[in-house]
Structure 1
Amino acid sequence: MAGQDRGPVEFVVDETGGTVVMIDGHPQSYVDVDDPALLVFEYVQFLAAVVDALPEGAVAATHVGGAGLTLPRYVAHTRPGSPQIVLEPADAVTQAVRQALPLPRGHRIRVRPVDGRSGLRQLADDSADLVVVDAYAAGRVPAELTSTQWFTDVARVLRPGGLLAMNTADEPNRRHLARLHAGIALVLPHTAAIATSEVRKGRRFGNTVVVASAQPLPLTAITRRVAMTAFSATLLHGPSLAKALGSAQPFTDTDAETSPEPPGVEGWRVR
């Protein structure tokens, strides 16, 4: 998978003591080792909203993409004892993060230095309550994580009622998102999408978190939790989501594409 030969990792400490993890010149994670519940990026707050909508107690989580391990830290903090697998091919990134931003004591986070496609193939059927896909190389979602074949394998790993939560990014026209969503819906027909109002209305490039399951989603719980985030955001599902995205052909392994190139981050700030 793309991303194994990533550029150098940079750690940028802000005025509050939190750390931005920069990879390939792009902000990948924000970590406060003393407060794992502090989530700064909007899409991470949306992913956390999905985590919080799961039934109480420990959850078996698989994360495709690691970087600063922000969400695994959050899961370990809010749901102690949760067994978590992180598929992160850039072992040098993981080692740098572990040294600069140590994981909490007693965690059950296992990072495997393997790409998402081959790493997921090694996992047992019905082994995860949650699969989080948040993997980027040079600021773009790798093409191999957008195809119908990939999502079919994700569905295999999910337990009945388990959730997929995928962070992706797109231009205002949302054509890449529409094709990605079409592939997801083929194998996990109950879907929803979370985005800020500006992104949802097509006013700027930005992130969308797609949520999917083989069974009906806990929409009330997710919607309530999204409303508690620090961002003006909405959750679309059913006919509203279909209308927003329009019709599209799903990606396959033969025509899959990376997500669009993001705008420059010069002058980027956390707060």
Structure 2
Amino acid sequence: MNSPSPGLVEPDAPAESAAPRALPNGLAAFLVFYSSGAVLVLETAALRLVGPYVGVTLQVTSSVIGIALAAIAYGAWAGGWLADKRNPRTMLAPALVLSGIATAITLPAVRYAGEVLRGGATGAILLLVAVAVFAPAMLLSAVSPLVIKLQLADLRRTGQVVGRLSGIGTLGAVTATLVTGFVLVAALPSTVILFGLAASLGVTGIALGVYLHRQDRAVLPGPARVKAALAVLGLAGAGLTMVAPNPCDVETAYHCARVEADPDRPDGRTLLLNSAQHSYVDLADPTHLKYAYTRWIGAVADVAAPTGQRLDALHLGGGGFTMPRYLTATRPGTDNLVFEIDGGLVELGERRLGVRQGPELRAEVGDARLLVAGEPTDSRDLVVGDAFGHLVVPWHLATREMAADIRRVTRPTGVYVQNVIDYPPLRFIRSEVATVAAEFEHLALIAPAEALAGERGSNFLIVASDTPLPLVALRARLDADAEPVSLLSGDTLADFVGDALVLTDDYAPVDQLLANA
């Protein structure tokens, strides 16, 4: 039997570093569910944050979705890379705490940046959305790959572990989307949602850090430093929010709303929705119509029936309730039924804009498309379409199918007027006139001459009926206004419309038509 030579000792095999311990399955599932859900809370709330500055259009919605997905992609990539470089247990708690800090400073960051980036330019939209979403969403998206790496102790179960946790993350995102959209946004201001989420992330991160620290003291050195950082930065975020400019008096389920007094008219009030002027009312004189397009609607109403005769009027969109109050004042006994999707605006109108519901004015909260479908046939003398999402007519209210339903509700001698905003090259207003003309026999269009020439953006008022319109009386009424305006009809209107697209439920690219060429 041979023995080793004296003085020669066989070296020990190098000891493999111990693999990080896996988390309990329940804790791992919670972290993935919670972090994925938090990203979708941020994404949903971001639309509320940026809306007052860049509007709520298809481009803004697409930007929020796209940048959130980019943040998720980069966060997952970075989290996976870090998980291979360092012990994931050391990074889970800091990732949650840092995401809480980033969430806390999102609100003041957006409010300051929004004042600089205000407007609808594409670059401004993308940059402001990135300020609102990217950093916290990226940090949160790093949590799932960190957790998954910890749970992959047995390579034979890799597919099962990854599939289960990925599914749990998706369920968290779905749950958060539904809860935020159906409950949180309707019940709480954006400030409360974001600071509540930030606090929740911070507390969860600290609790996780303490738990891991007790399990393995080498994992989280000094959790007190994390607490101190969260406290300092959280307080800084809260302080910035207190002094940051706030564009809202009230946050409704759909709008950032503010009412401003008119310095030149003691009883004048301007309603701003998402920082854009939306309505003007005079609390003491409901016949005072400040905006030109409201005077055009008033002119149509004035010549639609003998002076003072009551009307059965339907209003699609309430806003400041300017026209219902005007009709009540000029035609006593008029039945004004208002379809307004935002119940918060109805409440604001009652508190601040002189709205009084009763026999002559009733507001029904809901989507105008659905509510019109439930109205009796031939039940209205006047239908006023004045519903907007920011400065855009909601696409489902701009289609031929919607025009057909409005025609059904309008009496044969009744009139439909629709307020539209468009800008050069005027693609949307041409398409909308063509769409309404596909259902109503007689049309006219009211707008400033320079707007019709494509020199600037403006309100346009479509006037439609199944009986000949009182164009001579309407022209005389418009000429009495201080601001000159054009009235197109017949061949002149047909030349203006040309071969414009008729919008349908199947194809109504409203936002694209409104985009500048």
Q: Normalization by structure 1: what TM-score? A: 0.92
Gaps of 5+ in 1: 264-271
Greater mean deviation of Cα atoms: 42-51 or 170-179: 170-179
Match runs of 1:138-217 below 5 Å = 138-217=390-469
Offset of 1:123 from its aligned partner? 0.6
Q: 1:222 to 1:159 in 2, by over 3 A?
A: same
Q: 1:38 to 1:262 in 2, by over 3 A?
A: farther
Select the structure of larger CA radius of gyration: 2
Q: 1:107 to 1:231 in 2, by over 3 A?
A: farther
> CA-to-partner distance for each residue in 1:205-228, whole Å, 9 max, x for gaps?
111000001111111111111112
Match runs of 1:87-166 below 5 Å = 87-103=339-355, 108-166=360-418
Contact 1:87 1:112 in 2 (8 A): yes
Indicate whether 1:43 and 2:293 are aligned: yes
Offset of 1:5 from its aligned partner? 3.4
Which of 336, 361, 365 is residue 84 of structure 1 equivalent to?
336
2:278 alignment counterpart: 28
Gaps of 5+ in 2: 1-55, 58-251
SS class of match (1:187): coil
Give the Cα separation in 2 of the matches to 1:243 and 1:142. Answer: 26
SS class of match (1:166): strand
Contact 2:391 2:421 in 1 (8 A): no
2:491 alignment counterpart: 239
> CA-to-partner distance for each residue in 1:83-123, whole Å, 9 max, x for gaps?
01000010001101111122358761100001110110111
Larger RCO (CA within 8 A; separation ≥ 6): 1
Offset of 1:184 from its aligned partner? 0.7
Identity of aligned residues (%): 32
Contact 2:416 2:464 in 1 (8 A): yes
SS class of match (2:434): helix
Contact 1:190 1:215 in 2 (8 A): yes
Give the Cα separation in 1 of the matches to 2:507 and 2:358. Answer: 43
Contact 1:117 1:144 in 2 (8 A): yes
Contact 1:9 1:24 in 2 (8 A): yes
**By percentage of residues, which structure has more strand?**
1
AA in 1 matched with 2:336: Q
AA in 1 matched with 2:360: R
**Equivalent residues, number:** 262
Greater mean deviation of Cα atoms: 223-232 or 140-149: 223-232
Contact 1:189 1:212 in 2 (8 A): yes
AA in 2 matched with 1:63: H
1:224 alignment counterpart: 476
AA in 1 matched with 2:290: V
Give the Cα separation in 1 of the matches to 2:256 and 2:422. Answer: 25
Indicate whether 1:14 and 2:262 are aligned: yes
AA in 1 matched with 2:295: Q
Q: 1:171 to 1:162 in 2, by over 3 A?
A: same
Give the superposed CA RMSD. 1.9
SS class of match (2:271): strand
Contact 1:140 1:262 in 2 (8 A): no
1:75 alignment counterpart: 327
Which ranges of 4 or more aligned residues in structure 1 deviate by more than 4 Å? 104-107, 259-263
Contact 1:87 1:114 in 2 (8 A): yes
Which of 318, 325, 328 is residue 66 of structure 1 equivalent to?
318
Give the Cα separation in 2 of the matches to 1:204 and 1:118. Answer: 34
Give the Cα separation in 2 of the matches to 1:196 and 1:67. Answer: 23
Offset of 1:249 from its aligned partner? 2.2
